[in-house]
Amino acid sequence: MRKTMNTVHQEPETQRRILCSAEKVFYRQGYDGARMQEIADEAGINKALLHYYFRSKERLFDAVFSDAVLRLVPPVFAVMNINAPLMDKVRAFVDAYFSTVVNNPFLPGFVVHEMHRNPSRFSEIIQGSRLFMLQGLQRQLDEGAESGKLVPMEAEQFMLNLLSLCAFPFVAAGAMQAVSGKNDTEYQQLLEERRQLIPEWMTRLVERHE
């Protein structure tokens, strides 16, 4: 319930601006590297106003972090719980992951790095969307193995492989560009190619062939 509804107050539009700026700064600089002043500048407002909307840097960060995790994890988990053949799930997963991340290249690295600041907070945020997935996945892998179509594999390893192939090229983009000598455009093209290739590779990984 709002205080008075007679005007179409677009709700703290400033708050939205702050969150957006904080996101930009926290994503690239991390919690420790980020400066409240920089966030304020980015939002075109004053430092004091940050503390008015969010009480502290810690709370502002938590808002950004929660949002980041919720944007990255649940969609990706959800897609693995749909009722579909294994490889359809994989294709859906890769599409979902790339769609999210191509527009936020710093997102995976941010989540992975800021994780260890407060691991229990992370667990809270993603509670629920957890083990469900792995059970269904393991069942499909086992069925495929029994019918001789798939090689036996642990669902955890399968999932870790899928995630590694998708996420690492984004997390380590800087280092990879440095060793490969590719510029931004070239590297983005390489990433785009992986979007189709990863499902093929995951198929080869588990399909029996002899």
Partner DNA sequence: GTCTATATAACGATAGAC
Partner DNA sequence: GTCTATCGTTATATAGAC
121 binds DNA (CB under 7 A): no
**Helix%, strand%, coil% for the chain, nearest 5:** 75, 0, 25
User: Could you tell me the two tokens for 142?
Assistant: 């086992």
Q: Which is nearer to its own copies, 45 or 78 (CB)?
A: 78
> In the bound complex, what is the minimum distance in angstroms from residue 96's beta carbon to its own copies?
16
55 binds DNA (CB under 7 A): yes
Q: Give the other-Cβ count within 10 Å of 33's Cβ.
A: 10
188 binds DNA (CB under 7 A): no
Q: Which is nearer to DNA, 39 or 86 (CB)?
A: 39
Q: Which is nearer to DNA, 54 or 170 (CB)?
A: 54
Strand partners, 150: 207
Q: Which is nearer to its own copies, 14 or 118 (CB)?
A: 118
Q: Which is nearer to its own copies, 44 or 181 (CB)?
A: 181
DSSP string across 9-38: --S-HHHHHHHHHHHHHHHHHHHHH--HHH
Residue 164 binding target from its own copies, DNA, none, CB below 5 to 8 Å by type: its own copies
How far out from the chain centre does Cα 137 lie?
20
H-helix segments, 106-183: 107-114, 119-126, 132-146, 155-171, 173-180
In this structure, are residues 198 and 165 in contact, taking their beta carbons and an 8 Å threshold?
A: yes
Residue 52 binding target from DNA, its own copies, none, CB below 5 to 8 Å by type: DNA
Q: Which is nearer to its own copies, 37 or 123 (CB)?
A: 123
Helix/strand/coil for 142: helix
35 binds DNA (CB under 7 A): yes
46 binds DNA (CB under 7 A): yes
Which residues have a Cβ under 8 Å from the Cβ of 56 and sit 6 or more positions away? none
Say how far apart CA 133 and CA 121 lie, in whole Å.
21
List residues binding its own copies (CB under 8 A): 28-33, 73, 109, 111-113, 115-116, 119, 122-123, 126, 130-131, 134, 151, 156-157, 160-161, 163-165, 167-169, 171-172, 174-181, 190, 193-194, 197, 201, 204-205, 209-210
Out of 24, 41, 42, 57, the residue judged to bind DNA by CB under 7 A: 57
123 binds DNA (CB under 7 A): no
